[in-house]
Structure 1
Amino acid sequence: MEIAERAQALAVKIRKHKAAIETEEATKNAFVMPFISGVLGYDVFNPDEVIPEFTADVGTKRGEKIDYAIVHNGQVQVLVEAKKVNDPLKLEHASQLFRYFSVTNARIAVLTNGEVYQFYTDLDAPNRMDAKPFLVLDFSDIDPTLLPELAKLSKEAFDLDSVISAAGELKYIGQIKRALAAEFREPSEGWVRYFTTKVYDGSFTQKVREQFTTLVDKAGHQFVNEQVNDRLKNALGGPDTFVAVPSAPPEPAAAVEVETPADVVTTEDELEGFRIVRAIVCAAVGSDRVVARDTKTYFGVLLDDNNRRPIARLWFNRSRKYLGVFDENKVETRVAIDRVEDIYQHADALRATVARYTGSTTGLPQPTAAAQRVAVD
């Protein structure tokens, strides 16, 4: 099993059980130890690989403990400090990590609440743990681009030098991506001011700020949607190809409205996949009846915004993409796809599903077979 599959398995477990976890000790047993063993591949019951309650006296500090020390080739390489799930991760609550980092051979320190894992090293000053992580892995929304770096800390592929060499780039790319995501969710005054001064010659007054806050937000979302559309057009045959997408309001930003929980991030691939599914089935139903609903585990496409009328599911929060299609019994079949555009290969199955919901099923094909079938909740 690849690290992406192992990580996804732990993510499912966390989502299922975290509401019942009320203590730090329960968090370690339920989530942190499975991360060390199931994802990274170390034997948590072998003290030659994992040392619980690791102690290393530091100056006048005696008997302080780190929750786990991960050992590779006989040397302590990774220190892990755990907090209770759902607790915010703050470095002032992990002073032991700072102290132990300077007196052990460990070059990696991990602060976690069982769901979010923050990885630190000493980029800013040798043998002194940085104040900001170089990698943040959130199991509620796994970023697949981070998993190859995580794999370098696993028992089977441990490569500390490679992790350290990539840490600087990872640190700043991660921070930039999180900053961009925050600006797209709610543009800051600095972000609005920057773009306003690019296009507006007047003074940046309160009235101008309020006006351009809306414009910058709208322009940003339109730009992202246009990039998705361009990729779709190129995939179908080049920039001059006519794309049969359903009619939409004049402003592209309003073309895709996704019901999304506050802690779920909708990706460009998911939006592109939704547009493709909607384009495929819009000949049978109005485009306004095809609704997107994103969740932590999959991106759903529904008819009439009804959970009992699923058209497709986009399982894109993993290293391998899967398209979920449904048969006459509403049983889901997950089909592996290499690219988002491969959804077009399953157009008949998607049209058949919609036709069954609308009462016209004669002569329509059934969904393609696949290895995994999952009943709809």
Structure 2
Amino acid sequence: MDFIDRIRELATRIPKQLEYIQTEEATKNALIMPFISALGYNVFDPTEVTPELNADIGIKKGEKVDYAILRDGKPIMLFECKHHAADLSKVHASQLYRYFSVTEARFGVLTNGIVYWFYTDLDAPNKMDAKPFFEFSMLDLRDQAVEELKKFSKSVFDLSNILTTANELKYSREIKRIFAEQLAEPSDEFVKFFVAPIYTGKMTQKVREQFAALTRLALRQYISDQVNERLKTALAVESAPPAPAPTELVVLTNSATPTPSEPEHGGIQTTAEELEAFYIIRAILREVVPVKRVVMRDVQSYCGILLDDNNRKPICRLYFNSIVKSIGFFDGEKEARIPLLQMDELYGHAGRLKATVVRYDAAKAPQKAT
């Protein structure tokens, strides 16, 4: 089994294991040690993977790294581990900062066994950067992340190559963050960049506001068009096996005739965007449940995505009938609705969608006798 297969097999097991993992130590044993092993390192050889590596600093004694990966007797990668339910954005990585400065390792990893944040010292030598240069979720494991992760595996580990990649990832990540911010709320400078070649009139406040709205709309439409093209290609490949499409897609409406593209007068119309979102959500959830269990039910005010066509098992709701589209999640006591600027953002919520489905299945599983 090669690296990609090992990582994807591990990712597939995680949703089924989470309800049984109650402690940080269990997180290490069930999620993080198998991850290190998937990278090709022998977790049972202390000369290769050392748990609780001493990292004493001055008068601070007893500081220990959760795991250190060694090469030729020297640490090359440090792991600080948290419980799988921990939100890494709210975790202070102070221990990892301290470990990093007193060892020869060039990479530090902060993880809860699901999300992994990789750090290095691009800003200042031997001082861990404040922001990770690479991050990914095992519940939303994309091909690009797997390719980057492979560079850390034992068989191909090359320090200079990874540092070059780290520099590129750091800046590309920041560029994408800035672009996302501008897409949500474009600055005057950003709007002027697009407006200057096409508008010669006076740039009043009213005109600026109009072009800001047009800029947001044009960019979202462009991105949506690109996603649609990719989606069409993917669907064409998936439809290659001799399985009729109508039996694969289950769309229910409360109109007399359940044909979303041609509703009766005054009925409900399932839009192309809702279908696109449905296909994306199905593609995300196929890793944890058969796709036929994921069903769309369109109503007047929203488009619901259900598990097993059961109203008591809502996965999410699509609110696409207004100018600002949004999606509602059901991973808490109440529905949590957030804006959806573009369809591609659905992939960023993959972990949330999968966790909801896994919770429903876990609830119906028979309890073991005590």
Q: TM-score, normalised by structure 1?
A: 0.60
Q: Which residue of 2 aligns with 1:203?
A: 204
Determine if the alignment matches structure 1 residue 194 to structure 2 residue 190: yes
Distance in 2 (CA, whole Å) between partners of 1:17 and 1:49 is: 27
Q: Which residue of 1 aligns with 2:63?
A: 64
- Mapped contact 2:184–2:216 kept (Cα < 8 A): no
Distance 1:69 1:81, change over 3 A: same
Q: Which residue of 2 aligns with 1:24?
A: 24
- Residue 294 of structure 1, aligned match among 267, 281, 284: 281
- Pairwise CA distance, 1:165: 2.0
- Mapped contact 1:152–1:160 kept (Cα < 8 A): no
Q: Which residue of 2 aligns with 1:101?
A: 100
Helix, strand or coil at the partner of 2:78: strand
- Pairwise CA distance, 1:56: 2.0
- Pairwise CA distance, 1:176: 2.8
Structure 1: gaps spanning 5 or more residues: 233-268, 310-377
Q: In structure 2, give the amino acid aligned to 1:227.
A: Q
Distance in 1 (CA, whole Å) between partners of 2:121 and 2:294 is: 51
Q: Which residue of 2 aligns with 1:75?
A: 74
Determine if the alignment matches structure 1 residue 305 to structure 2 residue 296: yes
Distance 1:58 1:227, change over 3 A: same
Distance in 2 (CA, whole Å) between partners of 1:137 and 1:304 is: 28
Q: Which residue of 1 aligns with 2:44?
A: 45
Distance in 1 (CA, whole Å) between partners of 2:19 and 2:83 is: 12
Q: In structure 2, give the amino acid aligned to 1:43.
A: N
Q: Which residue of 1 aligns with 2:140?
A: 141
Q: How many residues align?
A: 265
Moved more, 295-304 or 103-112: 295-304
Q: In structure 2, give the amino acid aligned to 1:149.
A: E
Distance 1:91 1:283, change over 3 A: closer
- Pairwise CA distance, 1:271: 5.6
Q: Deviations over 1:251-278 (max 9, x none)?
A: xxxxxxxxxxxxxxxxxx3464247779
- Mapped contact 1:293–1:301 kept (Cα < 8 A): no
Q: In structure 2, give the amino acid aligned to 1:115.
A: I
Determine if the alignment matches structure 1 residue 273 to structure 2 residue 218: no
Helix, strand or coil at the partner of 2:296: coil
Distance 1:40 1:60, change over 3 A: same
Distance 1:221 1:301, change over 3 A: farther
Distance 1:308 1:113, change over 3 A: closer
- Pairwise CA distance, 1:3: 2.1
- Pairwise CA distance, 1:52: 0.8
Moved more, 189-198 or 8-17: 189-198
Q: In structure 2, give the amino acid aligned to 1:203.
A: T
Percent pairwise identity:
42
Distance 1:282 1:154, change over 3 A: closer
- Pairwise CA distance, 1:114: 0.9
- Pairwise CA distance, 1:142: 1.5
Determine if the alignment matches structure 1 residue 220 to structure 2 residue 230: no
Q: In structure 2, give the amino acid aligned to 1:31.
A: L
Distance in 2 (CA, whole Å) between partners of 1:196 and 1:143 is: 35
- Pairwise CA distance, 1:220: 2.3
Q: TM-score, normalised by structure 2?
A: 0.61
- Pairwise CA distance, 1:50: 0.9
Distance 1:226 1:9, change over 3 A: same
Moved more, 187-196 or 51-60: 187-196
Distance in 2 (CA, whole Å) between partners of 1:303 and 1:107 is: 44
- Mapped contact 2:188–2:208 kept (Cα < 8 A): no
> Residues 100-249 of structure 1 correspond to what in structure 2 (within 5 A)?
100-180=99-179, 182-183=180-181, 187-191=183-187, 194-195=190-191, 198-199=194-195, 201-204=202-205, 209=209, 215-227=214-226
- Pairwise CA distance, 1:213: 6.2
Distance in 1 (CA, whole Å) between partners of 2:225 and 2:189 is: 23
Q: In structure 1, give the amino acid aligned to 2:135.
A: V
Q: Which residue of 2 aligns with 1:5?
A: 5
Helix, strand or coil at the partner of 2:66: strand
Q: What is the alpha-carbon root mean square deviation over aligned residues?
A: 3.7
